[in-house]
Every structure is written in structure tokens, then in C-alpha cells.
Amino acid sequence: MDIEQLNYDFGKVEDKTFQDIKKQNVSDKIDLKAEMFDYMIGDKTSLRYEYVKTIEDVNERIEQMIILLSDFLPVGLPDEFYDWYARECLGLQYTKFEIKDRKRKYKIQRKRELEKKKQEDKLKKKRLQYTKKNTIITF
């Protein structure tokens, strides 16, 4: 082993060097993503799932669980499925009042769609129906 390899020039290190390194570290941004915390703890759970379970606000907890599930499950599932599955995972199933309210809203929406369609059909019938015919004129 050469002595030159062991010579680190400790005498040349100054306060300015340390200040420059400190400024550089402050300006560096840490790119943390939620997916980085999805590693498994033990066998059944992840750190992100445990964080979601500790959120006190129920609506916020459901929203965060929906985001977590949308990262794991395949794309293209309806939003209602994510909402339902998030509630199932957290043990916050719908109450019978929420189910009745959803059914009522769905019936109202469906009724409005049918009325709109009937109005469009009436307008189509009122319009003058005509057909285009190709005619050939010969001389």
C-alpha cells in the first residue's frame, strides 16, 4: 500500500468547503413518492396502509384508501368500486341510510334521463320528416 493513497489532504479542508456542501444539501430535493412506502411489514400489511388506518377523519381515510387501491388494482374500474372496496378494507361499510340515499339519488337521475329522452323523441316527431331522392334528368 502506498503512502500517497493514505494522504487525504486534511489540512486543505476549510469552513468554506463545509458551508458549500451544506448549501448543496439544502438545495437538493428528495423525491419521495407514496409508492416508496408500500413495502411489506411482516406478512399482511404495508406502511402506507397502516398510515391510512391511523387517519382520524373518516372521509379523509376513505379518500387515501381509494388512492392506495387505485395504485394497486388495474385501471379501468369504476369509482364506485374503489369507494366500496376502500370501505370494506377499512371496516366502514355503508349504513342503511346511506344506501337508501344512494338509491334515491339514482332513481332521480334515471327519471331525469328518461324525461330528457322523451322530450328529444317528441322534438324529432314534430320536425318535418323528409327523404332525399336521387333523380336523373335525361334530355
Termini Cα distance of the chain = 111
Model confidence band, residue 105 (pLDDT cutoffs 50, 70, 90): very high
Residue 40, strand partner residues: 46
Domain ranges across the chain: 31-93, 95-127
Q: What is the pTM of this model?
A: 0.48
What is 37-67 written as a DSSP string? Answer: G--EETTTEEHHHHHHHH-SSHHHHHHHHHH
Contact 62, 92 (CB under 8 A): yes
Residue 4: helix, strand or coil by DSSP?
helix
Give yes or no for residue 31 having a pLDDT over 80: no
Model confidence band, residue 98 (pLDDT cutoffs 50, 70, 90): confident
Give yes or no for residue 14 having a pLDDT over 80: no
